[in-house]
Amino acid sequence: MADWVEACTVDDVDEEDVIRFDHDGRSFAIYRSPDDEFFATDGFCTHEKAHLADGLVMDDIIECPKHNGRFNYKTGQAKGAPVCVNLQTYPVKVEAGKVMIQI
C-alpha cells in the first residue's frame, strides 16, 4: 500500500514552477501549475540523469535542463525527442497547506 508523504508546503513552490523533493533514497519533482494545482513526477529525466527541478515549467510542460526534452508533468507523457520514455507521475493532495504525494 502506497504511503502519503509530506513533500513541501504550498508556499514552497512558486506558481508555474517546480522544486525538488528527496525521500527515502528517491528523488521527485513537485510542480505548481499556472492554475494553482500541484503535481508530482519522478525527479530525473528519463533520457539522462538530469534533475527536472532545474528545468523550466511552461503551462503543463516541464522542460529538462540538460537537453530540453519535454514532458507533460500532469500525465508524464514524453513529448518527443530526445525524450522517448514517459515520466512516472504520482497522486498529489493538499491538506492544511501541505503538499502530500503518494509513493
Partner 1 sequence: MAGKVKRDYSLVGESTRIAIETGLASAEWYHTEVPRKTMKELMHRSDSPAIRDTAIWLGAILVSAAAGVYFWGTWWCVPFFFAYGVLYASASDSRWHECGHGTAFRTRWMNDVVYQIASFMLMRNPVTWRWSHARHHTDTIIVGRDAEIAVMRPPDLLRTALAFTGILDFRYSLPALARQAFGKLTPDEKSYVPEMEQHKAVIAARWHVAIYIATIALALTMQSWIPLVLIGGPRLYGTWHMVLTGLLQHIGLADNVVDHRLNSRTVYMNPISRFIYWNMNYHVEHHMFPMVPYHTLPRLHELIRHDLPEPNPSMWHAYREVWPVLLRQLKYEDYFLKRELPPTARPYRGEFHEVNMSAAAE
What residues make contact with partner 1 under the rule CB under 8 A?
Answer: 17, 47-49, 55-56, 58, 63, 65-68, 70, 79, 81-82, 84
CB of 82 to partner 1, least distance (A): 4
CB of 2 to partner 1, least distance (A): 30
CB of 3 to partner 1, least distance (A): 29
- Side-chain half-sphere of 103: how many Cα atoms within 13 Å? 23
1-35 as b/e: b if 16+ CB within 10 A: eeeebebbeeeebeebbbbebeeeeeebbbbbbee
Cβ proximity to partner 1: between 36 and 59 the closer is 59
Cβ proximity to partner 1: between 3 and 59 the closer is 59
Cβ proximity to partner 1: between 12 and 23 the closer is 12
